[in-house]
Structure 1
């Protein structure tokens, strides 16, 4: 983990080297709308120090970002009265991460919005059983 990364637009925003419309900030995170919002009120919440993605930092560094997203999400709910909200964080190119600095998308949703469903309509092919997957994850948790 580094404090700031060269060539990172979110580090540039946090440091003030790049402009942003700041909606919220605290000692751990800063929130601002993306350049191309997916919905009215779409807001990004990023940590003040560079973490590549959700997996890059320990829970003690990631949790304050989630807490800031909860604060921002509550304000969005009061201000815009959406019918729902998506909280999205992608880790890695396979998950469509395009800016490699941890960020949470707080996206207000309405039943008739243009975004559509975000959940797949079919299950994964040839997936191991839920019990097998749970056992693998529990083993990792026991070892940490």
Structure 2
């Protein structure tokens, strides 16, 4: 189990069987539950039972059951609640607004005019073509 600032990892506790909010789906590898403060009706968190700090620490082996559970939950949310859209979000690190350092994927049903609003800026920052070219070259080289 991983440690969080100020105590035990709440997601490890939930995955270990401690009472949590509404548990919707579980397998030996993953758990899907409602967050304590949902953004929309049906907002669900899908997380590995094993402590994984963030997406960067996720192995390919652990990714498969997590991804399959995310897809299963997304389809169930669509069939049960009929949202206008869906966001699937994970954050890695505090700069990306990760507040619980245990990998979790938000499956967030969306409706036109809901309280969340736009996730992306209307216009992204402008980058010089040279900077984009260098970034692309570096990423391609890293990918091999």
Normalising by the residue count of structure 2, what TM-score does the alignment of the two structures yield?
0.89
Asked whether the 8 Å contact 1:54–1:62 carries over to 2, the reply is no
In 1, distance between residues paired with 2:19 and 2:137?
45
2:139 to 131, 137, 140: 137
Q: Which residue of 2 aligns with 1:66?
A: 67
Asked whether the 8 Å contact 1:39–1:108 carries over to 2, the reply is yes
Q: Which runs of 5+ in 1 are unaligned?
A: none
Q: Which has the higher strand share?
A: 2
In 2, distance between residues paired with 1:23 and 1:55?
26
Deviation larger for 115-124 or 9-18: 115-124
Q: Which residue of 2 aligns with 1:120?
A: 121
Q: CA RMSD in A?
A: 1.5
Asked whether the 8 Å contact 1:89–1:103 carries over to 2, the reply is yes
Deviations 1:43-74 (A, max 9, x none): 00000100000001222212321221110000
Aligned length: 139
Asked whether the 8 Å contact 1:9–1:18 carries over to 2, the reply is no
In 1, distance between residues paired with 2:131 and 2:100?
33
Match of 1:61, SS state, is helix
Match of 1:45, SS state, is strand
In 1, distance between residues paired with 2:139 and 2:89?
22
In 1, distance between residues paired with 2:48 and 2:35?
15
Q: Which residue of 2 aligns with 1:8?
A: 9
Displacement of 1:16: 1.1
Normalising by the residue count of structure 1, what TM-score does the alignment of the two structures yield?
0.89
Q: Which residue of 2 aligns with 1:91?
A: 92
Deviation larger for 125-134 or 88-97: 125-134
Deviations 1:84-141 (A, max 9, x none): 0000100000000000000000000011211100012232254654332221111111
Deviation larger for 32-41 or 18-27: 18-27
